[in-house]
Amino acid sequence: MSDSSPGGPERRARELREALRHYSYLYYVRNQPEISDERFDELFLELKTLEEAHPEFVTPDSPTQRVGAAPLDGFETIEHAAPMLSLDSSADLEPLQRFDERMRKALGDDVAYVVEPKLDGASIELVYEGGRLSRAVTRGDGVRGEGVTENARTIQSVPLRLRDADRTMPGFLALRAEVIMRLGEFEALNARLLESDRAPFANPRNAAAGSLRQLDPRITAARPLDIYVYDILAIDGRPPPTQWETLEALRDWGLPVNERCRPAAGVEDILAFHAELEEGRDDLDYEIDGIVVKLDDMAARDEVGETSHHPRWAFALKFPPRNEVTRLLHIFPSVGRTGVVTPIAFMRPVELGGVTVSRANLHNREEVARKDIREGDRVRVQRAGDVIPQVLERIEEPGRERAEPWVMPAECPSCGTGLEPRGPYTFCPNLFACPAQLAGRIQHLGSRHALDIEGLGEETANLLVRQGLIEHLPRLFELEAETLMELEGFAEKSATNLVEAIAAARRTELARFIYGLGIPEVGVTVAGELASHFRSFEEFRAADDETLQTVDGIGPRMAEQITTFLARPVVSGLVDELRGFIDPVPPPRSGDALAGLRIVLTGWLETMSRSEAAKRLEAQGAKVTSSVSKQTSYVVAGENPGRKLERAQTLGVEILDEAGLLELLSGGGADDSGGSDVDDGSGEADAADRADASGEPGEA
């Protein structure tokens, strides 16, 4: 296709690279995206396909080349271009006032500052040589750190190449930046880690630092990180004369700068900024732990100089920490959907940064023992953003008599089966039958990235199990509206809606079905990879460890988890039964007849429901969307079409009737000769998917 574009594939590849860089810059640096995520993905896919056909045109700084390096044996120690000093800081006002007085004394009364959020992440040095990212080094001891270049390349907002369009780029540029993990990503990562029996990170900073220090760049790539750049460590040529101009220059070179930075004239401005950020702290989707005040004028910075630890021209005013002390009342073992039994702390309610907290996760019995937390103890609880609170530590109370150490019960609190320890964790082996696990499984199967059954949330799943309506997962598909109506909280309408939603879910995409089974380690991304690789559930199910490992992102550990799970007799019987109800559709191939079409459905169809039409169109590669735009290829109008038909007429979009739809579907005899798969699962999925895409490639 693109091979026929004027100038040939090489020129097209160059155009695509430039376009993708430009759109990333608008998105990450200017916060003014000009195209949809979908369009971006389409261009990315076009470039990827083109480069696959013509590997000779791949450049090292192509946007497709973010992940590619092989795992390392260890990190190289690299010296920074200039020392990465730390900051003088305090949560009290007085040291800040003294800082301001010192500056005024040295520089006069019209001293100018820049104030910035103090990002709570991992500090890193980025070096660009000839405009290309040549290395990334962790802060380490401030003089030298670890080379994590390949990992930094996986961060989408780190440009692989500097922009030269608005401001001449320097030949050499060493920067200081903060790598962060946004809260949504952090929570999703911890959920994944816990699900696969691994210890969660205590906060987003540790998660960012830990993800950056993975020897396998693919693991880093699966943990979406972000970056903000705030300082020039070294540059060839003349550096910008002020901090404010530095930030502008960094933006022009395509580097993401935090949008909240601003000029400040004195203590009053500084405190206003501090108050504003502290108040808005919960609305940010990343963690900050204070503000940083910096002299704006670079010449003035040289004048005041630095100590061996920190510059004299900057000061950090920290926020009070978001942790509190309260009393732990009770520890309760809670059984999750995979059978992991998690000790939960019930505490006297306490306010943490505006939210009342009464429960916290204690993770596993070894954590409880390690922190020596007992019922009745005074404990310090911490909350980071919207994250589930954690018990940080026990507070000593000399002379107070304590309860006995907490022990995990021998039997499952939900079904009474004997519990089994596995490493630090404890499991209820009554897979799928234990009521607590069953309710969790039902909820997971109905969740947004699985069968997406509206109305089947946690509460309903629990109710169905508690009332004995479902004792076995496949019974979900035999529920009747009449039975549901007898339950508390259900009326005729809600009961019918749920039954219909369950029926509609019987035709689902293969990836959703695989994900919905709740196989250990198999998150949304991995399920997508498996679906595009095997294209039929039976093929996937029959695959042995070795075959599974030929799938992108699947290592030996994950392969083994998958085969072991599927081979368990309970699971195998259950899957057989589920297959009797559910007939999953394989994902489209790039050679699919309808690939690239965007279709909107409106009105009542006679031969099939709209959702079935959508599934069949999607199975052949079309994209079915809900609103009509100029990009829409066809609007399919059934009986009593809605506004969408009018809009199609206004925009001049082609309109099909039901016969036209059927023709489109049958004309689309998909070419099954094995073209490459559309979904490359490289994390270029839509935003919702990004939020909790798993894809921990065989982390040992």
- Contact positions toward ligand IVH, by CB under 6 A? 85-87, 89, 116, 118-119, 123, 176, 178, 230-231, 292, 311, 314, 316
Q: Which residue is nearest to ligand IVH (CB)?
A: 123
What share of residues in the chain are helix, strand, coil (percent, to 5)? Answer: 40, 20, 40
d(CA 260, CA 247): 11
d(CA 581, CA 577): 7
CB of 92 to ligand IVH, least distance (A): 16
d(CA 179, CA 139): 11
CB of 80 to ligand IVH, least distance (A): 12
Residue 274, both tokens: 């501090």
Query: How many residues can be counted in the chain?
Result: 700
For residue 199, the Cα-to-chain-centroid distance in whole angstroms is 18
Name the one residue in this structure whose structure tokens are 């073209």.
Answer: 675
Q: Contact at 8 Å (CB) between 599 and 636?
A: yes
For residue 88, the Cα-to-chain-centroid distance in whole angstroms is 33
* Catalytic residue of the set 48, 105, 118, 644: 118
Distances (CA, A) of 563 to 9, 324, 590: 42, 45, 29
d(CA 364, CA 308): 43
CB of 106 to ligand IVH, least distance (A): 18
Amino acid at 448: R
| Pairing status of strand 378-382 against strand 323-335 | antiparallel
Q: Contact at 8 Å (CB) between 270 and 277?
A: no
d(CA 545, CA 555): 9
Q: How many other CB atoms are found less than 10 A from the CB of residue 5?
A: 12
Which residue number, 66 or 176, has a Cβ lying nearer to ligand IVH? 176
Is 623 labeled as catalytic in the residue annotation?
no
CB of 52 to ligand IVH, least distance (A): 39
d(CA 636, CA 513): 28
d(CA 227, CA 102): 32
Residue 372, both tokens: 């020596």
CB of 215 to ligand IVH, least distance (A): 23
Catalytic site residues? 118
